[in-house]
Structure 1
Amino acid sequence: MHLVAESAYVLHTRPWRETSLLVEVLSEHHGRIGLVARGVQGPKRQVLRAALQPFQHIRLDALARGELARLISAEALDAAPRFDGEVALAGFYVNELLLRLLQRNDPFPELYELYGRTRARLQDEGLAWTLRCFERDLLDALGSGFDWSVDAEGVAIDPAARYRLDPEQGPRRMLSDRGHGERSAAATGRALLALADDSAPEAADLPGLRQAMRSVLVHHLGPRGLKSWELLADLARVAPKRDSRRDGDGS
């Protein structure tokens, strides 16, 4: 299959052999694609190398044979965002989730659009809420999402209650006599209704929502976690209290 002028976002790049790169992209019409970019390490290929950096929006030509396609050409479509600190970690998390949950060559045009929106929001909006919306929409696209306005029994979500997320059936209301630790790792009804309405909840509701969403993602990821989660845990052990406006518990 010959890919011509295919738009894509670069998710991951790593060296391969002496002068080449292995590149993973999320393309508009063909989903996740693995590419071999040959001979791009020389001084005359600097422009091409720059176009193959993570988060870059590109247009590419490639020849697909087997699991990996051979990159013929690529050009940047914009100036890639310069993420640093917590924003870079959040972007790494988004890319890693896509790499782990998407099979190659499975078309997901809605995820291509979602990635573009999320990439822009990471620069301008609160990290935690941006990531929760990304997780919600990713699960929906993969057919594993929920109706966030009702629980697993079909009862309307109570904004004053707390809910754990059953990965298969959705929100389940927690009893009031549960221990503090178990309840603090659950989502408030207010947070679930915020997901349903696509309106940011109060900052106090975001940590529990993160924990509840993570339990669903762990189910789909299997026993091997994410490197970005490990990095976040390491950062939390050494970093001072972060800016509450960005809710610091991003991924």
Structure 2
Amino acid sequence: MRLTAESAYVLHTRPWRETSLLVEVLSERQGRVGLIARGVQGPKRQVLRAALQPFQHIRFDALLRGELARLISAEALDAAPRLDGETSLAGFYINELLLRLVPRGDPLPELYDLYARTRAQLRGGQLAWSLRCFERDLLEALGSGFDWSVDADGAAIDPAARYRLDPEQGPRRLLSDRGHGERSAAATGRALLALTGDIAPDPSDLPGLRHAMRSVLSHHLGPRGLKSWEMLAELARVAPKREAADPEPDSGADGER
């Protein structure tokens, strides 16, 4: 099948055989597509290689055969955001989530729009909140989302309570006699209602929401976690006194310390 003038975002690029690249993209009409870009290592293909870097917005033509497509041409549609430090790790995180959870060949135009919004927000001042919204909308697009305004028993979310997130059934209220460790790893009702209203919560509500969302994502990812989580753990070991950034930002990556 010929893919013509497909708009896409580049998620990941790696060497393929001697002179080629395997490029994973999230396209508007085809969903996630694996592209084989042949013979791109020479000096005359520098412009093409630049267009195939992660976070780049491109338009491409390709010939789809089986699971992979042979890239015919590609051009950059804009300048990819320049990310560093916390924003670079956050971008790596969202790309990795998409690569792990989104199957190839499943058209999900809402994910394309979601990626565009989140990509634009990576340099913003509320990075942690942007990533929580990305996780929420990704789960929804994959058919694994929740009604954030009610708990698993159908009761309205209490803003003063704390909730753990059951990956299958949604928020479950914690009893007041639960230990501190379990409560600190749970989301506040205020944070869940913030997800419902798409309004950023108080910064103090973000750490628990991060932990709660991570438990849901871990369920869908299976026993193998994310490399971005490993990178975050390593950063915490190297600089234990510094609040590490999101992909799991408790505070640092969203600009609120």
TM-score bracket relative to the smaller structure: over 0.9
- Amino acid in structure 2 at the alignment position of 1:121: Q
What residue in structure 2 maps to residue 54 of structure 1? 54
- Amino acid in structure 2 at the alignment position of 1:22: L
* Secondary structure of 2:156's aligned partner: coil
* Secondary structure of 1:119's aligned partner: helix
Q: How does 1:204-223 map to 2 (within 5 A)?
A: 204-223=204-223
The answer (yes or no) to whether the contact 1:11–1:54 under 8 Å persists in 2 is yes
* Secondary structure of 1:191's aligned partner: helix
> Deviation string for 1:182-228 (max 9, x for gaps)?
00000000000000000000111100000000000011111100000
* Secondary structure of 2:193's aligned partner: helix
Residue 248 (1) aligns with residue 252 (2): yes
**1:127: Cα distance to partner?**
1.6
* Secondary structure of 2:252's aligned partner: coil
> Deviation string for 1:48-80 (max 9, x for gaps)?
000000000000000001111000000000000
Residue 22 (1) aligns with residue 26 (2): no
The answer (yes or no) to whether the contact 1:126–1:246 under 8 Å persists in 2 is no
Looking at structure 2, the residues matched to 51 and 213 of structure 1 have their Cα atoms a distance apart, in angstroms, of: 33
**1:249: Cα distance to partner?**
6.3
Q: How does 1:1-251 map to 2 (within 5 A)?
A: 1-239=1-239, 240-242=241-243, 247-248=251-252
The answer (yes or no) to whether the contact 1:20–1:39 under 8 Å persists in 2 is yes
**1:242: Cα distance to partner?**
4.5
**1:241: Cα distance to partner?**
2.3
**Structure 1 gap segments, 5+ residues each:** none
CA RMSD of aligned residues (A): 1.5
Looking at structure 2, the residues matched to 30 and 124 of structure 1 have their Cα atoms a distance apart, in angstroms, of: 29
> Deviation string for 1:74-126 (max 9, x for gaps)?
00000001111010000000000000001100000000000000000111132
**Structure 2 gap segments, 5+ residues each:** none
Looking at structure 1, the residues matched to 140 and 176 of structure 2 have their Cα atoms a distance apart, in angstroms, of: 30
The answer (yes or no) to whether the contact 2:232–2:244 under 8 Å persists in 1 is no
Looking at structure 2, the residues matched to 241 and 158 of structure 1 have their Cα atoms a distance apart, in angstroms, of: 32
The answer (yes or no) to whether the contact 2:34–2:69 under 8 Å persists in 1 is yes
> Deviation string for 1:222-244 (max 9, x for gaps)?
11000000001111222352499
- Amino acid in structure 1 at the alignment position of 2:242: K
Query: With structure 2 as the length reference, what TM-score do the two structures score?
Result: 0.94
Query: With structure 1 as the length reference, what TM-score do the two structures score?
Result: 0.97
Looking at structure 2, the residues matched to 42 and 204 of structure 1 have their Cα atoms a distance apart, in angstroms, of: 51
**1:19: Cα distance to partner?**
1.1
Looking at structure 1, the residues matched to 21 and 225 of structure 2 have their Cα atoms a distance apart, in angstroms, of: 25
- Amino acid in structure 1 at the alignment position of 2:184: S
Looking at structure 2, the residues matched to 162 and 55 of structure 1 have their Cα atoms a distance apart, in angstroms, of: 36
The answer (yes or no) to whether the contact 2:148–2:193 under 8 Å persists in 1 is yes
